Amino acid sequence: MIAEHAIPSHEAAQAPDPMGPQPFRVIKVKEEIAGCTTLTVEPENDEAKKLCFFQPGQFHMIYVFGQGEIPISISGDPSHPQQLVFTIMGVGTVSRALTKLKAGDMVGLRGPFGNTWPVEKGAGKDVMLIAGGLGLAPLRPTIYSILARRELYSRVMLLYGSRRPENILFQEQLDLWNKRMEMNVGITVDSADKKWDGNVGVVTELINDTSFSPTRTIAMICGPEVMMRFSAHALMDRGMSPKNIYVSMERNMKCAVGQCGRCQYGQYFMCKDGPVFSFEQVEQLYKVREV
Amino acid sequence: MADKPKLAIWKFSSCDGCQLTLLDCEDELLSVVGAVDVAYFVEASRETKPGPYDVSLVEGSITTPHEAELIQQVRKDSKFLVSIGACATGGGIQALKNYADVSDYINTVYATPEYISTLDKATPISDHVQVDFELRGCPIDKGQLLEVVNALLYNRRPNIPTHSVCIECKRRFTPCVMVRGIPCLGPVTQAGCGAICPAHERGCYGCFGPMETPNAASLGQWLLDKGMISEGDLVRLFRTFNSDAPAFRDASIHFEKEVQRDG
Amino acid sequence: MADHHGAYCIDRPDFGSLFSALKKRGYSLVGPTVQDGAIVFDEIEAVDDLPEGWTDEQDAGTYRIRKRDDKALFGFNSGPHSWKKFLYPSETKLWSARRTEDGFEIEEGEKTIPQYAFIGVHPCDLRAIEIQDKIFMAPDTADPRYGRKREAAFVIALNCGQASKTCFCTSMGTGPRAESGFDIALTEIMGEGYHYFLAESGSERGHDVLRESGCRSAADIDFESAAKVSRQAVDGQIRAIDTNGIKEMLYRNYENKHWEDVAERCMSCANCTLVCPTCFCSKTEDEMSLDGEIADRWRYWDSCFTLDFSYIHGGTIRQTIRSRYRQWMTHKLAAWYDQFGSSGCVGCGRCIAWCPVGIDITAEVKALRESEGGKKNG
């Protein structure tokens, strides 16, 4: 009647510490727009190198000495895992400290964490990427992945809403992709002065002006929650299934491994089950305040 | 590190206890003095330097017309203003006069009342000027003071929680005194003291003032319903060190009305 | 006669031999003891440190200890502490970063791992430990601090012989008898002229310890007596949660008006979450030395009841107490099934007793169900 050993014989005791950061060196700093910087970092040792392989949509926890640690989506190219690229807007203590780093400075990284954009699911279909503000950064790895295997996809569209013309992220790259006809890029701004000859209005207006086949399109949306909700509804009004619409969510996060409990959203942990969700998964939760 | 930040320490109506916390830092005092330029601190040194100051720590509440003027000047001279202690952040003991007729008091207490120049109410610094950060407590906690100084030096956000004292009791494994029959303000009071009183079998006196989103009405009602406190004592419980802090003030007025209704 | 291999009886005077056998193996003993007017868990040295002859009286928002009429060693129910105090401490230095010439170096925070023997783990708490195992020992993301302590820990379960007014383990299917997850399970059996423990081993190392502790083999009658003890703990329970369809019930009641009723009483003080043996939420803080050379990273117990918990650049998502209580209960009794495959509640009743204003999770579930019924009918 003696049961099997009562003590869980997991490998937990020997596993590396999921809370321990690995050292990375900043090798390039580029100011994108006011207050927003792209950092390129390189691993300092072999353990750190393991952190560089990622899928579009994933994020790392970045630590600045003494200041703290925050989740940042990767904005670089997944096919270049020798380096990691992050685009950061300085809004809080740690993010502001990150935007002030110089080449040669050290940061600590944990990750990559989270699930990925459904890049594979879009194969053979039209892909519509919808970004709001800084939400373009987490979508950029997806653009790199899709363009690297452009032949797998039919139309690729990027609809991008920015506050003002001077807030447009990755402007040169957008122009280039558009010019090469690899991707249709539509940009709109909330407001602009007379020099701007592009669209003025919210991103849902761009959706309404775009012709697409609702049954053979996959949409990936990244931006403020309200913008994602309106965009998803605009797509559904055009006949798209919430199963084919994806959003990337954001919540407070301290551990990124499902142990601090902070990033819960209904039954989901943003860090493990997200940040990417099909709109079908979150549609009901979107209707509830303060979840 | 760049130039040392210029620090000033100001006293309004108060007992000096919060300023003394800085001198109490003993082990850390030399490091603090080494890291900042203490430009104005009359409690510690008669030598004072003129403003502007990078950081001002302001102790005490505003109780006289003179103080009401002076605090405006302090604000103008300070880049970052931190109000420290229950007087500066919640009125202090002297805010008990807010519930009474001050002229009655003056006539009763002073032989020559005409020499007394005082305002009707004792009010926190934030009622008069923009306050950049508040450190609570009667007196403030040494660790919290050092944390704020440290955060200012290294440009970080100070780790000063605004949640209940209960979380501190639980982290040090003190069994809840309230559940064991002792009235305690811990569930509506901001943490920071390290939950000292409950660790010595006393209820929290609320000297760190109201926590974030306090529900003082619920606490008071429970104490009354369970017969753990008399109505008069309940009113007094909310009127001690932070009697001008809105949540405690409102609760005390609410339960005072209950007393009057029942009486 | 049934096979009672691995089951022994330890007479009360010999009970100390169990402690000696564990100490010999290098374990630090932790168990119940009377402190600060409560039965708490702490390091203990000998049987004398146990709450002999003490019991507790509990109800919503109230807890008192008093002397019993007998000399039971384990005649009490859940107290203010749970075993997470040892496996997942309230304050942990995760690591320390030290400035170097060209950056910083990370040093491990915790160097020595204590080897605990837990004495007297109630069945509900045993389940609670297993629930926390799922959080802290998940493959790929296991916390080595928790894992090492958990693997080393020797667990002596204590089958309950009584229920406090706040207990509801039978409705949660977690007690009052331990079925698995222990090295040794004890049942305290006493009556006119006898006082002994039925000790069942749950592991080889448990069996080893018992063989060494000078005990006699258990017989059918001992198991019958133990069953009677357990029955008392079942019969004594006056509270219950109806778990039938509870996940779906809570998921469809995000907008129920009853949350506002709870929010009138709830102080968002976080007591319920911190006494809960399964609640695991934490925050991390960086603590810098005044000279700026060393930055320690700490992990502290935290709670979904604080504003900071759901703070995200510039605002808090769960502003109202209503939404925070809803988050706690919906997580505990509903989302937990989706996240970890079971309820997050083990029916220990701590959140009921240690809520300073006596909010009762069993009553709130009932009220939610009833308000829903009313809505359907009306």
Q: Residue C148's CB: how many other CB atoms inside 10 A?
A: 19
C216: β partners: C9
φ, ψ for residue C198, nearest 5 deg: -80, 125
Binary contact (B166, C306; C-beta < 8 A)? no
Q: What percent of chain C has pLDDT over 90?
A: 92
Are residues A70 and A135 both part of a single domain?
no
How far apart CA B259 and CA B122 sit, in angstroms, is 25
In chain B, residues with a C-beta closer than 8 Å to the C-beta of A98 are none
Show which of A113, A133, A163 is a domain's final residue.
A113
Q: With beta carbons less than 8 A apart as the criterion, state whether C270 and C303 touch.
A: yes
What is the distance in angstroms between the Cα of C273 and the nearest Cα belonging to chain A? 12
Q: Residue ranges of the domains in chain B? A: 6-153, 166-262
Q: Residue C20's CB: how many other CB atoms inside 10 A?
A: 14
What is the distance in angstroms between the Cα of B242 and the nearest Cα belonging to chain A? 31
* pTM greater than 0.90 (yes/no): yes
Average pLDDT of span A93-110: 97
In terms of CA atoms, which chain C residue is nearest residue B153? C290
What is the distance in angstroms between the Cα of B156 and the nearest Cα belonging to chain A? 6
Chain B neighbours (≥3 Cβ pairs under 8 A) are: A, C
Q: What is the pLDDT of residue C375?
A: 52
- A23 band by pLDDT with thresholds 50, 70 and 90: very high
φ, ψ for residue C31, nearest 5 deg: -170, -175
Range among A36-40, A178-182, B32-36, C286-290 rated most confident: A36-40
Are residues A155 and A212 both part of a single domain?
yes
Pairing of strands A264-265, A268-269: antiparallel
CA distances from B22 to A249, B11, B25, C162 (A): 44, 13, 5, 53
CA distances from A248 to A128, A201, B201, C368 (A): 14, 22, 49, 32
Q: Where does A34-174 show beta strands of DSSP type E?
A: 36-43, 59-64, 68-73, 84-89, 106-113, 126-132, 156-162
CA distances from C153 to C77, C84, C310, C349 (A): 22, 12, 34, 25
- A100 band by pLDDT with thresholds 50, 70 and 90: very high
SS3 of residue B261 by DSSP: helix
Is the pLDDT assigned to residue C357 strictly greater than 70?
yes
* Torsion over CA: C163, C164, C168, C173 (sign): negative
In chain A, residues with a C-beta closer than 8 Å to the C-beta of C153 are 7
Give me the numbers of helices (H) and strands (E) for chain A, helices first please.
7, 15
Encode B181-200: b = buried (16+ Cβ within 10 Å), e = exposed: ebbbbbbbbbbbbebbbbbe
Binary contact (B154, A68; C-beta < 8 A)? no
Encode C196-231: b = buried (16+ Cβ within 10 Å), e = exposed: bbbbbbbbebbbebbeebebeebeeebbebbeebbe
φ, ψ for residue A70, nearest 5 deg: -140, 155
What is the distance in angstroms between the Cα of A123 and the nearest Cα belonging to chain C? 30
Are residues A213 and A143 both part of a single domain?
yes
The mean-pLDDT minimum among A268-277, B42-51, C68-77 falls in B42-51
Average pLDDT of span C161-181: 97
**Structure token pair of residue C33:** 């003891």
In chain A, residues with a C-beta closer than 8 Å to the C-beta of C339 are 258, 267, 269
**How many Cα atoms sit within 13 Å of B121 on the Cβ side?**
13
- A140 band by pLDDT with thresholds 50, 70 and 90: very high
How far apart CA B221 and CA C326 sit, in angstroms, is 22
Q: What is the pLDDT of residue B1?
A: 46
Q: Residue ranges of the domains in chain C? A: 7-98+108-235, 246-377
Average pLDDT of span C162-185: 97
Q: Which H or E element spans position A217?
A: strand A217-222
Instruction: Confirm whether A34 is domain-assigned.
Output: yes
**Structure token pair of residue C365:** 């579930």
Q: What is the pLDDT of residue A19?
A: 95
How far apart CA A276 and CA C326 sit, in angstroms, is 24
Q: C343 — alpha (psi -120 to 50), left (phi > 0) or beta?
A: beta
Q: What are the pLDDT digits (tens) for A225-262?
A: 999 999 999 999 999 999 999 999 999 899 999 999 99
Q: Where does C101-191 show beta strands of DSSP type E?
A: 103-108, 116-121, 154-159, 184-191
Instruction: Confirm whether A287 is domain-assigned.
Output: no
Computed over every residue of chain A, the mean pLDDT equals 93
Computed over every residue of chain B, the mean pLDDT equals 93
Q: What are the pLDDT digits (tens) for B104-163?
A: 888 888 888 888 889 999 999 999 999 999 999 999 999 999 999 999 999 898 999 999
CA distances from A63 to A76, A89, A201, B152, C317 (A): 18, 15, 37, 19, 24
CATH topology of domain B6-153: Rossmann fold (3.40.50)
In chain A, residues with a C-beta closer than 8 Å to the C-beta of B156 are 66-68, 93
Instruction: Confirm whether A269 is domain-assigned.
Output: no
Chain A neighbours (≥3 Cβ pairs under 8 A) are: B, C
Chain B interface disruption, residue of C165, C267, C311, most B CBs within 10 A:
C267
Q: What are the pLDDT digits (tens) for C90-146?
A: 999 999 999 999 999 999 887 788 999 999 999 999 999 999 999 999 988 899 999
- A1 band by pLDDT with thresholds 50, 70 and 90: very low
Q: What are the pLDDT digits (tens) for B87-98?
A: 999 999 999 999
CATH number of the domain encompassing residue A83: 2.40.30.10
A68 touches chain C (CB under 8 A): yes
In chain C, residues with a C-beta closer than 8 Å to the C-beta of B176 are 63, 80, 271, 354, 356
Which alpha helices (H) appear in chain C, and where do they start and end?
16-24, 84-87, 123-136, 144-152, 169-172, 204-212, 220-235, 246-251, 258-265, 271-275, 321-330, 336-340, 350-353, 361-377
B174 touches chain C (CB under 8 A): yes
Instruction: Confirm whether A285 is domain-assigned.
Output: no
**Total count of domains within chain A:** 2
Q: With beta carbons less than 8 A apart as the criterion, state whether A213 and A126 touch.
A: yes
Q: With beta carbons less than 8 A apart as the criterion, state whether C147 and C88 touch.
A: no
Computed over every residue of chain C, the mean pLDDT equals 95
Closest CA to B57 of B135, B150, B154, B156: B135
In chain C, residues with a C-beta closer than 8 Å to the C-beta of B188 are 267, 269
**Structure token pair of residue A162:** 């920015």
Question: DSSP for B186-255?
Answer: GGGBB--S-SHHHHTT-----TT-B-SS--HHHHHHHHHHTTSS-HHHHHHHHSSTTTTSHHHHHHHHHH
Are residues A102 and A164 both part of a single domain?
no
User: Whose structure tokens read 């020499």?
Assistant: B115
Average pLDDT of span C320-330: 98
**Structure token pair of residue A91:** 């809004």
CATH number of the domain encompassing residue A234: 3.40.50.80
In chain C, residues with a C-beta closer than 8 Å to the C-beta of A290 are 317-320, 322-323
Q: What percent of chain A has pLDDT over 70?
A: 95
C215 touches chain A (CB under 8 A): no
Are residues A66 and A130 both part of a single domain?
no
Are residues A137 and A103 both part of a single domain?
no
Q: What is the pLDDT of residue B2?
A: 54
* Burial (CB count within 10 angstroms: exposed 0-12, middle 13-18, buried 19+), residue A83: middle
Residue of B31, B163, B180 lying closest to C38 (CB–CB):
B180
How far apart CA A89 and CA A66 sit, in angstroms, is 19
SS3 of residue B61 by DSSP: strand
Question: DSSP for C279-336?
Answer: ---EEEEEEE-TTSSEEEEEEEE--TTSTGGGEETTEES--SHHHHHHHHHHIIIIIH
* Torsion over CA: A76, A77, A78, A83 (sign): negative
Question: DSSP for C30-54?
Answer: EEEEEETTEEEEEE--SGGGS-TTE
- B47 band by pLDDT with thresholds 50, 70 and 90: confident
Is the pLDDT assigned to residue C377 strictly greater than 50?
no
How far apart CA C323 and CA C153 sit, in angstroms, is 38
Binary contact (A10, C151; C-beta < 8 A)? yes
Q: What is the pLDDT of residue C374?
A: 58
Task: Show the domain range for A48.
Answer: 22-113
Are residues A47 and A109 both part of a single domain?
yes
How far apart CA B51 and CA B7 sit, in angstroms, is 9
How far apart CA C320 and CA C368 sit, in angstroms, is 19
How close are the terminal C-alpha atoms of chain A, in Å? 47
